[in-house]
Amino acid sequence: MHESFVREPGLLEPGALGDTGISASVGPGIPGRGIIVLSSLATVGYSTRFVGETLGRDQLDLLSRGAALTLTARERHDPAHFYDVRYRDLVRDPVGTVEAIYRYFDLPWSEDVRAAVAAEDEASRSGHRAPSHKYSLADFGLAEAEVDERFADYTARYLS
């Protein structure tokens, strides 16, 4: 997965994102899985058609179109205004990843900021926010190779 941060005043300050978190997600292996699951949960009890493979194909199309549009849009902006993060790195080392973002954008990093990021990470792993869903691309009629192919241009340009 991939997260793109556009430099905006206050965007990366502690608490600036509130409970919304970071929403963009694309990339090889596990693109948009959070979005697929959110969509899946939103249709429970409301749709018998927009499930499984139908949902997977729809979300893959949506996310891959978004990645293509992002490629085009980013060409119109200063590359220094973007910082690309592999989702796996964010999960593996959230504090270190956020620190790298701060340093890239020359934002002040302090022990208070580190503690706030660490506390938010801990809170996101416990209680009602703790990850609890398990699923695979196959649950949505998708194969990893197909997904990787749909995001190949984006991955080659920004995550190589």
Render pLDDT for 92-115 as a digit per residue (tens, 0 to 9): 999 999 999 999 999 999 999 999
For domain 2-148, give its CATH number from 3.30.1490.20, 3.40.50.720, 3.40.50.300, 3.40.50.170.
3.40.50.300
- Predicted pLDDT of residue 37: 52
- Predicted pLDDT of residue 78: 93
Q: Say what the pTM is.
A: 0.63
Q: What is the DSSP string of 15-53?
A: TTTTTT-------SSSTTHHHHHHHHHHHTTT-SSSSHH
Rounded mean pLDDT of 31-38? 48
- Predicted pLDDT of residue 160: 77
